[in-house]
Amino acid sequence: MMKKVILAALALSLIAVCAYMIYTPDVELSAMELKREKHREFIANSPFSDSKDLTKAQRKSMSLPPNAYNERMWELTMNPELGYPTPYVVDAQRAVNASIAKSTPGSEASPWIERGPLNVGGRTRVVFYDPNDVGANNGDGTDYNRVFAGGVGGGLWVNDNIESANSRWNQVPGLASSLNISCFAIDPTDSNTIYLGTGEQYTDGASIGNGVYKSTDGGDTWEQVNIQPAFDEDLTNGSDIFKSGVFFVNDLIVREVDGGTEVYAGIGAAFYGAPNFNFQNPRNFLGTQNAGLYRSTDDGDSWSRIEDEDLEYDFNGLTFYTIPNDFELSADNTLYFGSIDATGVNVGGGRIFSSSDGTDWTELFEIGSGDRVEISPSATNPNKFYVLAQVAGQANIYLTENGFATLDQISEPDDADNGIPASDFTRGQSFYDLVIETDPEDDDQLYVGGINIHRSRDAGDSWDQISRWSNNPNMDNLSVPFVHADIHSIAFKPGDSNEGVIGSDGGVSIVESFARATRSSGAIENRNLGYNVTQFYYGDIAATDFEDGDEFVGGTQDNGSQVFNNSNVAGGLSNSFDPIGGDGSFSAVDSESGYVVLGFTSRNHYYFDYPLNPDRAGLFDYINRGEAYTISSESDGDFINVGEVDRAFDIFYSNSRGGSGGGGSTTITACELGANSADCNEINVPAVSGSRPTALTASPFAAVNPVLFIGTEDSRVLRVDNTLDANPVTTDISGDDFLGSASDIRIGETELEIYVTMHNYGINNIWYTNDGGLNWSQKDGDLPDLPVKAILPNPLVENEVIIGTEMGIYVTTDFDSDSPTWTLTVNGMSTVKVLDLDLREADNTILATTHGRGLFTGQFTTAGIGSASAPISQLNVYPTQVTNELNIESSKNFSSATIKIFDLNGHEVMTLNRDLGNANSKINVAGLSSGLYLLQAQSQGLNETIKFVKE
């Protein structure tokens, strides 16, 4: 329903913008100021301008994804010229970057070190038993104790003994660790052949994928499957733009047919709204024209979309195809799928189709007001199916025993949580967490998952709750296991359906007995040891007190605020604990002054004594013992709110821009932190009125009065002196060419030296001044078009700077250049999103905070990070813009060098061997299509990758 409201809001925004264009006085503005004004209008009229400030409970009641962070990031990363983000422009580089990482790692002497958390997982939509872990292949004498799991944003993992609490997860090599894994399928004729799908449609484009991957050796190695999209071109229809590509794979299935196999893929789509209905500022659809049911009859080598008439629908005069959400095979090998709406189009969901031959499809049933549909067949009765569907924003359960001649709604569980309505066990999140599975040994026994898990032993007539996500009122009386909220996957152990594994927003759990789970809290246990797919928003490292180990804090998606005490590099990943719960947010630790600041959504922030005691029973236990107090408890600010701690003056700054709970036009609040309470006052900064702060940095050089630097969503950087005064002094130090939303402000060796980064696509993201903002230089150089989230200069090596981006950490060693050269530094890490970089100056230890792979540390040295990751080139490749022939010369002789050329889909398009040296070696590239390519040359003592453009 809310999606329709958003579309309506888009139409209203057209009126608003047109009115603005008509009635704005004729003021002569510079070209850049016109761009900034256009960007401000995009932000003010974004499709999320109303929803981004809703509380989590309000969002659930309106069938919106529970996490408004992604909506805010949509606004902050938008291309200011277009009014929407363009992640698909660079997403194809993921596979290429992964291949570069394997062949040219960063500094081997100083790699990134993964720090954890060891005991916390993250959003998991895929979990399954290794089908080959049986008999002579099981390796440890126990059948089916090896399990795979796929994290959203965290790649593929394997646990060799899920039954042991001490068995660690290991990331599967050969796949990018930033992949958003969404589904899987196993070949029934060859269990060594496994397919993985990527991209999560359910969060409206927040987790884009790049197609399908395949393994033919049981998951040891992987290669990308080339699904050529039907209608593979961008499409413009009036005010709508449809971007072409395979961005979301909702489900996969492999069916045995006459001794061979057929592979089916449900290719999804998403909607990226922009505020104005015109050609310059369109609504943007990802993959809608390519979406639908795809089929391969040659083991995934080639694919075709099934364009059956029953699968067609019309939208604005164009023909599109129904999107499969869930594939299932009946007991007689008939293929079924439940559909899902194309987001933004809101057509095609709530339907159930079947086919006996895979090409001719029949619509069996349409559920009124239905959207996402999950199907669960009987393993023995080909006419019996359970259906779990998103209907008008809530979950309904259905049963047919006559092959969908009729479909009857049956009872659904009444969750014990007082906050979950009896009519909807998903609590308004049926678009997000919706699972149904039938016991393969007893088709009267079924399981459903939403917020918690429920079990029926009589075909849905009655239900028992078998998990609880918290001790919320009424749930604290249950003797059932704890399982993290938001259930996404349930898999039965082969040969014993009383055991299984579960995927949730909290990672992976093992079910030792479904039957005992109604009465035994130990029947289901967490299994997250080393499964580090945690999505952090903020992180911080203690400046002192690290003789016994490092102290970290960080706010996470749906896994609270994680605290690490005495984390030791030599010990590998470390355990952490969460004193608050929910979604974590801004986090800071001041070990010198003896306090920690943590928080959860909006402007809810808390002061804790340092160090935190891990044995407390939650936030109120800390408060009741006098070990913590509330700094602020308001619903204004952003969902994941920006903050800053001035350690010199013990001031906590936060965005207090009015949200759903009020707050007026106040922009920033300063709280002086005392031992037992905080004194909070608004900062009078009229220059930010009408905007929102997106980056806050306290000057480390202010000696008498505090100084705060503010970056805004609308291209400005301000310096505020005397922040605690009634009328502080504000100076606009923005660069004339700033365009975008500030993501980070870093002060260098003096207050005159300032580094600024921007969130957006399509702009110059990195800026630098050495005169306090009088003059600025842009420093993007050859960096790909990526949002930049954080920046940190090496204090030991002049002109060496690292940045955290949407796709990993980049380093330059020539920052003073007019066009710096940026190199991906991935030894020990990956191309995961890096949101925060912090430095412990005492020993130059860096904390890198990732959204999908937890926390990492590295260290600046006098040798420099870039010295190993960006060696002096031994090759000269020219021209870099080529029509027919590339020339390669080398400063040394390399015999029989292997030369490979990759396109930006990661596909190897050319391989040859050449003797390289001072003599010119030519490569004919006339047959390549126009575009950007990567040439990789390898030999003994040679390992380089160079870009070139084929014209």
Q: Tell me the pLDDT tens digit for each residue of 533-575.
A: 999 999 999 999 888 899 999 999 989 999 999 998 776 789 9
Share above pLDDT 70 across residues of the chain, in percent, rounded to a whole number: 87
**Tokens 């709970």, located at residue:** 661
pLDDT digits over 635-688, tens only?
Answer: 889 999 999 999 999 999 999 976 433 334 568 999 999 999 999 999 989 888
At position 697, the amino acid (one-letter code) is: T
pLDDT at site 107: 57
Buried b (16+ CB within 10 A) or exposed e, 693-714: bbbbbbbeebeeebbbbbbbbb
Between CA 492 and CA 500 the distance in angstroms is: 4
Structural domain boundaries in the chain: 2-77, 875-950
Are 830 and 895 in contact, with CB atoms under 8 Å apart? no
Measuring CA to CA, how many Å separate 800 from each of 454, 795, 864, 865, 873? 55, 8, 7, 8, 18
Q: How confident is residue 281, by pLDDT bands cut at 50, 70 and 90? A: very low
Task: Tell me the two tokens of residue 306.
Answer: 């099934």
The most confident of the ranges 50-59, 543-552, 737-746, 922-931 is 737-746
pLDDT digits over 480-534, tens only?
Answer: 999 999 999 999 999 999 999 999 999 999 999 999 999 999 999 999 999 999 9
Q: Sign (positive/negative) of CA torsion 379, 384, 390, 396? A: negative
Between CA 726 and CA 705 the distance in angstroms is: 13
Phi and psi based region of residue 680 (left: phi greater than 0; alpha: psi -120 to 50; beta: remaining): beta
422, 411, 412, 410: which is closest to 474 by C-alpha?
Answer: 422
Share above pLDDT 90 across residues of the chain, in percent, rounded to a whole number: 67
Average pLDDT over residues 907-919: 82
**Tokens 């998951």, located at residue:** 219
Instruction: Count other Cβ atoms within 10 Å, centred on residue 332.
Output: 11
pLDDT at site 1: 33
pLDDT at site 28: 62
Three-point CA angle 744, 749, 751, nearest 5°: 65
pLDDT at site 163: 97
Between CA 622 and CA 19 the distance in angstroms is: 53
Q: How confident is residue 22, by pLDDT bands cut at 50, 70 and 90? A: very low
Three-point CA angle 294, 297, 302, nearest 5°: 65
Phi and psi based region of residue 545 (left: phi greater than 0; alpha: psi -120 to 50; beta: remaining): left
* Among the ranges given (313-327, 758-772, 825-839), the one the predictor scored with the smallest mean pLDDT: 825-839
Instruction: Count other Cβ atoms within 10 Å, centred on residue 340.
Output: 31
Q: Tell me the pTM.
A: 0.81
Between CA 809 and CA 791 the distance in angstroms is: 10
Measuring CA to CA, how many Å separate 511 from each of 131, 151, 446, 532, 653? 18, 19, 15, 21, 45
* Among the ranges given (403-407, 507-511, 702-706, 925-929), the one the predictor scored with the smallest mean pLDDT: 925-929
Between CA 151 and CA 127 the distance in angstroms is: 9
pLDDT digits over 314-357, tens only?
Answer: 888 889 999 999 999 999 999 999 999 998 888 999 999 999 99
Between CA 849 and CA 400 the distance in angstroms is: 49
Q: Establish whether the linkage from the previous residue to 111 is cis, with ω within 30° of 0.
A: no
The most confident of the ranges 240-249, 600-609, 885-894 is 600-609
60: part of which helix (H) or strand (E)?
helix 56-61
**Helix count and strand count (H, E) for the chain:** 8, 69
Q: How confident is residue 90, by pLDDT bands cut at 50, 70 and 90? A: low
Q: Are strands 292-296 and 283-286 parallel, antiparallel or unpaired?
A: unpaired
Instruction: Count other Cβ atoms within 10 Å, centred on residue 592.
Output: 12
Residue 318 phi, psi (nearest 5)? -110, 150
pLDDT at site 722: 97
How many CA atoms lie less than 13 Å away from 695 in the CB half-sphere? 32
pLDDT at site 52: 52
Residue 843: pLDDT over 60? yes
Average pLDDT over residues 878-900: 81
* Among the ranges given (195-209, 419-433, 897-911), the one the predictor scored with the smallest mean pLDDT: 897-911
Average pLDDT, rounded, for the chain: 88
Residue 63: pLDDT over 60? no
3-state secondary structure string across 125-152: EEEEECCCCCHHHCCCCCCCCCEEEEEE
Measuring CA to CA, how many Å separate 13 from each of 62, 578, 597? 20, 41, 39
Task: Say which residue, 844 or 895, is predicted with more confidence.
Answer: 844
Q: Are strands 942-950 and 550-556 parallel, antiparallel or unpaired?
A: unpaired
pLDDT at site 920: 74
3-state secondary structure of 66: coil
Q: Any idea how long the chain is?
A: 951
Are 169 and 530 in contact, with CB atoms under 8 Å apart? yes
Buried b (16+ CB within 10 A) or exposed e, 203-224: bbbbbbbbbbbbbbebbeebeb
Class for domain 875-950, per CATH?
mainly beta
pLDDT at site 53: 54
Average pLDDT over residues 272-290: 63
pLDDT digits over 305-314, tens only?
Answer: 999 999 999 8
